[in-house]
Amino acid sequence: MAWFPSLNQSGEAVALVDGERSLTYNELNNAVMRVVAGLLNGEDSLKEERVAFLYPASFDYAALIIGVVAAGGIAVPLSVHASAGELSHYLSVAAVRRLLLPGEMRSEALDAVCEALGVAQLAVEDLSVGEASHVLPLAAEQGALIVFTSGTTGKPKGVVHTVASVSAMVISLIEAWGWEATDVIPLFLPLHHIHGIVNILLCALWRGATVDLYARFDAEGLCHKVANDRYSVFMAVPTIYVKLITYLKTLDEAKCDRVTEGFANMRLNVSGSAACPVPLFNEWEALTSQRFLERYGMTELGMALSNPYEGERRPGHVGQPLPGVLIKRLSESGENITDPATPGELAVKSCTAFREYWGNPESTAKAFADGWFLTGDIAVIDEGAYRILGRASIDIIKSGGYKLSALEIEATLLEHPDVDEVAVIGLPDDEWGEIVAAAVVLANPLSEDSLVQWSRELMSGYKIPRKWIFTDALPRNALGKVTKPLLSAWFEG
């Protein structure tokens, strides 16, 4: 398969392991071709039809993420933890006509959403059985993947990556991080974000390596395999490493030593999706002798900066541009910044950059300036290595590897009839990077517990504020805008 060469080249090598079951590359190729034939149903291309799916880490997920693209469609992987309201937004924005999901993922709420939007629900096994007699070759600029991200507009936008940009992301990381066909890596990260989809699953499968699939993070199960030297590569968000350290402290000395030795024997440990606190970097190295490879990327770009695979990795820094990536820093007025110590917004040109926000040409145009993607992240250059200072906007919260929109959370909370005003911010947190906090002005008496319970019906758990303050008024400037920087002090103590 031209789109994914390893499926034809790796034969009986094991591609995926799910518990006691394994799938070879030949078997994965057959599963992909069944998806292609079933989706096409006699046609020669899906012509960029957006095909959404709600599968956890599984053989079916892998067949879909590759097969939809191979059939000429755009894969739209969705969070298995999303609420019905969130799924309604994703399906509507991408104008999805078919949603694939296992039977256990169906619900009355989702049925109602799909009925209202005219979306057909079916499982992989429901696809018609046959052979794809003729499939049109893929064009480089053809859409391949839509991943939703949160922006300062408050609602997640559908980031469209092409066959060319996805391929460039994968090839770049295989080269930069030394991927080998003999590598084995666990996958427990969400599969609706670039980190899990590209950095782990697609890189490993493209290279012909092996991926162990986990439905959820399992410290005990993972550490058992680590102690037996199962893995050569490990990629996670800082929150996961905090949880692993906490788990290691529950073990007796002999068991702990076996696990830490297993990590030490790996060729690479990567931390990403959120800034890694320097104390965590140092504690992990003291335990395992592994210095994290930290990197920087975005949904719209894949990875753009990376500490070196071979060479000095500096805590608190995200390294240098990856091959083929051009970066400059801009002042607030859009002027180039040449002084390394002067903070500036990162602007990026790369063959890994996205094509567009689906159905949103206005946001797409605003995201670029003269062909440079404006990241919204502020950075300095410290002895040749980039250091991220934070967001140009305070309305993006990075928590546990997720990038959350404060405006989206605010908009949801304002749907409650007893909430009059609300301001959401991120508070620094050693484990999560940031946690969500909300200052609320009530129209009628309401308890924190009842508001949390109500929120669970409309938002994913990781978006629900962990700290709350109920107040008579929010701080505002002369123009009437809420002054969020003042809110942080409200939550201290």
pLDDT tens digits for range 335-351:
999 999 998 999 999 99
At 154 the pLDDT is 57
Residue 82 lies inside a defined structural domain of this protein: no
On the question of pLDDT at 236 being above 80, the answer is yes
H-state helical runs in 369-492: 406-413, 448-456, 487-490
Residue 275 lies in a domain: no
Average pLDDT over residues 51-59: 97
Please report whether residue 478 resides in a domain.
yes
* Structural domains of the chain, count: 1
- CA-to-CA distance for 478 and 282, rounded, in angstroms? 45
Token pair for 314? 């500096």
What pLDDT is attached to residue 479?
52
Which residues is 482 bridged to in the sheet?
Answer: 476
pTM of the model: 0.86
Write the pLDDT tens digit of every residue in 288-337: 999 999 999 999 999 999 999 999 999 999 999 999 999 999 998 899 99
pLDDT of residue 24: 97
Better pLDDT: 484 or 115: 115
How many whole angstroms separate alpha carbon 89 and alpha carbon 113?
10
What is the band of 123 on the pLDDT scale with cuts at 50, 70, 90? very high
Residue 347 inside a domain? The answer is no
Whether the per-residue pLDDT at 478 is higher than 70: the answer is no
416 inside domain:
yes
Q: Mean pLDDT, the chain, as a whole number?
A: 93
C-beta atoms surrounding 84 within 10 Å: 16
Which residues, listed in sequence order, are joined to residue 413 by a DSSP beta bridge?
none
Q: Is residue 441 part of a domain?
A: yes
Confidence label for 8 from pLDDT (cuts 50, 70 and 90): confident
In this structure, is residue 424 part of a structural domain? yes
Q: Which residues of 338-365 are buried (b: 16+ CB within 10 A; e: fewer)?
A: eebeeebbbbbbbbbbbbbbbebeeebe
Q: CATH code at 456?
A: 3.30.300.30
Please say whether the beta carbons of 491 and 437 come within 8 A: yes
Range of the domain at 405: 396-490
Q: What amino acid is encoded at 474 in this protein?
A: L
Q: Please check whether residue 313 lies inside any domain of the structure.
A: no
The b/e string for 277-308 (b: 16+ C-beta within 10 A; e otherwise) is beebbeebeebbebbbbbbbbbbbbbbbbbbe
Percent of the chain's residues with pLDDT above 70: 97
**pLDDT at position 151:** 46
- Say if residue 277's pLDDT is above 90: no
**Rounded to the nearest 5 degrees, what angle is found at the Cα of 327, between the Cα atoms of 323 and 330?**
175
Mean pLDDT of 243-253: 97
